[in-house]
Chains A and B, each alone.
Chain A
């Protein structure tokens, strides 16, 4: 996964709980993309961040979802009050100067 780290790899939450997904981009990189992939569907862009700044959050649902990338530490995608429809694989990707994106292993969220 080109050094892109995500954790946890699997996350189980009950409806109404909060989910926190973490992503560390490739070493020395300061931008991340977050994507969601529902079962048997394509990748859906959610948000693009650089450290301490949200560049584009046009793909984020208006409610319950938020993302941050602090100066220190990983990027975090936060889902409040999860519902069954949030069950999906969430990937982060680390872009390079040539626009290539390298993906982390993903977090599989299951909402019971």
Chain B
């Protein structure tokens, strides 16, 4: 299985353009999330989802939309790109196991990242 895949690997946008970063996983994981990573900084959580039809905001959700129509896919949409959104974006997934909400802090599997530049 391919694990977590992200497309594209690189993207350059002009201010105001919109685009969708794709993320897919073939491990049947319920939990998926998007992070952004800026130079010299750690990863910041944008949005996350614990299953199809369920999404929630992370630390830095403004300017981004997500939806989860299937277990496999979790696209991240930039509605009107801004230079401040220049960053590397990582998608991650993990299973929710157990009967009482599922274990959250165990291994997350990360994709290879998308490097986005907004001019």
Q: Does chain A bind chain B?
A: no
